[in-house]
């Protein structure tokens, strides 16, 4: 058994001041039971809790740490900034540098604005799309998460298209009445809705590879189909690549699938572990934001020098030859090993992977949308999660999250993880 006494104490202490002990809900072990571990430090692909246990980390701060913890060039870049000042509220060249690095990797982005989180990025992108088109309706997809923006915290009724119903108390019906949600990976429904309402739709926002209901890749032709619909009705197509940008490939999903969105939202990897978000796309649309245009959006700490420096150091390293080839090789090794571990133990699972993000669904059937994802055996996932934790492997404390690998996970780390999975799978109740 793991000794987690200090974490337990830290947890009860935190509960006195912080709701649920956490500053973001998914950090609590709500979906798997038990109390969250408190972290002391991270080095490379390892995470150390305050009781001195070490884990191989597949959460990586929920995606940003593609270079692992305390990457040398990120640390060096941050030290440089600390000699000069942490924030100025005036432009720095660092912002232009990061903007250029993003543009080089994603040609669909002609202009870009930095913000402080993925949520801010999607919120701003939607306002911009509405301001640009002078239309109100937003189309989103069931099970796609775009941050905790009021108008995007919406779920649809089962399968059918419905008018938005808020997922969270505190979100007035009025805020979501212009949000239409529909099932992921179903082009016909989008076509049908747009036949009637297309001229009133401001934007379609989508996780081009879904990563917040587990990992669900788009079906062949799906994104291309959305592009065609958007073109037909003058709708702004937004790819939310907060998770997938610089993760599934250097150019994100749009490079893999060769589909060009009008706007892209980014976050996570582009901050290399510091708080950054960004949205960018066609210059014609981006120039509608203030101060060039009338759509207002601002931020006291936006483009913060520490965050920019960390992002620059990360993206510079990701430009090097062979980085994504190695990530791909190791990701494939892990995904195949995890699949084998389930098969050998006779546990039904469905495996998905795009680049260095992957998911083991404890599901009898294929998982292609939110409906099928929800059929997973989440109790079995919880047992698997705790079994893996005991063996020193830190997975996301929820079935509906991705596992990420970094450039510093070695073949040995991966093989140790597969070996642990083989043992744990065999202990799961059939
Ligand atoms: C994480 C995430 C967000 C929200 O980003 P925050 O920085 O947590 O606000 C938005 N969209 C997607 C696809 C994400 O994965």
191: tokens are 């076509």
**Residue range 275-290: average pLDDT?**
98
Give the N- to C-terminal CA distance of the chain in Å, as an integer. 23
**Residue range 357-377: average pLDDT?**
96
Q: Counting atoms of ligand 1 from 1, which one is nearest the CA of 277?
A: 7
pLDDT-based confidence at residue 157 (cuts at 50, 70, 90): very low
C-alpha 121 to ligand 1 mean position (Å): 9
Question: CA–CA separation, 405 vs 56, rounded Å?
Answer: 10
DSSP per-residue codes, 387-411: HHHHTTEE--SSTTS-EE--TT--H
Q: Can you state the percent helix, strand and coil of the chain, rounding each to 5?
A: 40, 15, 40
User: Which of 49, 57, 71, 240 does the annotation list as catalytic?
Assistant: 240
C-alpha 424 to ligand 1 mean position (Å): 31
Question: CA–CA separation, 312 vs 298, rounded Å?
Answer: 22
Minimum CA distance residue for ligand 1 atom 15: 243
268 is catalytic: yes
Poorest-confidence range of 103-107, 154-158, 306-310, 375-379?
Answer: 154-158
User: Which of 57, 71, 142, 268 does the annotation list as catalytic?
Assistant: 268
Ligand 1 pocket list (CB less than 6 A): 117-119, 122, 145-147, 207, 211-212, 240, 242-243, 267, 277
Question: CA–CA separation, 179 vs 150, rounded Å?
Answer: 10
pLDDT-based confidence at residue 161 (cuts at 50, 70, 90): very low
Return the CATH fold of 72-318: 3.40.640
Q: Is the dihedral of CA 15, 45, 115, 146 positive or negative?
A: negative
DSSP 281: E
Question: CA–CA separation, 337 vs 54, rounded Å?
Answer: 22
**Residue range 107-118: average pLDDT?**
98
Question: CA–CA separation, 273 vs 280, rounded Å?
Answer: 20
248 in Cβ contact with 357 (< 8 Å): yes
Q: Where are the domains of the chain?
A: 5-70+322-425, 72-318
**Residue range 415-428: average pLDDT?**
98
C-alpha 241 to ligand 1 mean position (Å): 9
Q: Counting atoms of ligand 1 from 1, which one is nearest the CA of 147?
A: 4
**What is the CATH code for 5-70+322-425?**
3.90.1150.10
254 pLDDT higher than 80: yes
User: What pLDDT, on the 0 to 100 scale, is given for residue 100?
Assistant: 98
Question: CA–CA separation, 360 vs 351, rounded Å?
Answer: 5
C-alpha 270 to ligand 1 mean position (Å): 12
**Residue range 184-203: average pLDDT?**
97
Residue of 239, 243, 248 best suited for mutating to test ligand 1, as the one with most atoms within 8 Å of CB: 243
Q: Which strands form 403-404's sheet, in the order they lie side by side?
A: 350-354, 357-361, 403-404
Question: CA–CA separation, 270 vs 310, rounded Å?
Answer: 8
C-alpha 237 to ligand 1 mean position (Å): 18
Give the distance, in angstroms, between the CA of residue 337 and the centroid of all CA atoms in the same chain.
23
**Residue range 249-278: average pLDDT?**
98
């Amino acid at each position: 058994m793991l000794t987690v006494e200090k974490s337990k104490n830290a947890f009860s202490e935190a509960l006195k001041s912080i709701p649920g002990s956490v500053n973001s809900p998914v950090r609590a072990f709500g979906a798997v039971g038990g109390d969250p571990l408190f972290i002391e430090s991270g080095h490379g692909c390892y995470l150390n809790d305050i009781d001195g246990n070490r884990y191989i980390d597949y959460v990586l701060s929920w995606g940003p740490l593609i270079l692992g913890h305390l990457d040398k060039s990120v640390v060096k870049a941050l030290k440089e900034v600390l000699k000069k000042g942490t924030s100025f509220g005036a432009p720095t060249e660092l912002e232009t540098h990061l903007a250029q690095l993003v543009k080089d990797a994603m040609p669909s982005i002609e202009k870009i604005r930095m913000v402080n989180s993925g949520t801010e990025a999607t919120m701003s992108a939607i306002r911009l799309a509405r301001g640009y088109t002078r239309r109100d309706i937003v189309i989103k997809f069931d099970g796609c998460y775009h941050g905790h923006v009021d108008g995007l915290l919406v779920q649809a009724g089962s399968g059918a298209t419905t008018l938005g119903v808020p997922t969270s108390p505190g979100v007035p019906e009025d805020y979501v009445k212009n949000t239409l949600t529909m099932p992921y990976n179903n082009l016909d429904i989008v076509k049908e809705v747009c036949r009637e309402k297309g001229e009133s739709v401001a934007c379609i926002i989508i996780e081009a590879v879904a990563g917040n209901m587990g990992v669900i890749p788009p079906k062949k032709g799906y994104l291309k189909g959305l592009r065609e619909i958007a073109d037909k009705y003058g709708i702004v197509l937004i790819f939310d690549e907060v998770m997938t940008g610089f993760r599934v490939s250097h150019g994100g999903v749009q490079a893999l699938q060769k589909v060009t969105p009008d706007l892209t939202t980014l976050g996570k990897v582009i901050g290399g572990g510091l708080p950054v978000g960004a949205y960018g796309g066609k210059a014609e649309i981006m120039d509608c934001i203030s101060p060039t245009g009338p759509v207002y959006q601002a931020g006291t700490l936006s483009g913060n020098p520490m965050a920019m420096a960390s992002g620059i150091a990360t993206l510079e390293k990701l430009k090097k030859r062979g980085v994504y080839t190695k990530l791909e090789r190791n990701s494939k090794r892990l995904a195949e090993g995890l699949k084998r571990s389930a098969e050998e133990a006779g546990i039904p699972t469905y495996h998905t992977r795009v680049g260095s993000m992957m998911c083991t669904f404890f599901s009898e059937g294929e998982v292609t949308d939110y409906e099928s994802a929800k059929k997973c055996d989440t109790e079995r996932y919880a047992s698997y999660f705790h079994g893996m934790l005991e063996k020193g492997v830190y997975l996301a404390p929820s079935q509906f999250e991705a596992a990420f690998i970094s450039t510093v996970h070695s073949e040995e780390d991966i093989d140790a993880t597969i070996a642990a999975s083989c043992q744990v799978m065999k202990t799961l109740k059939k």
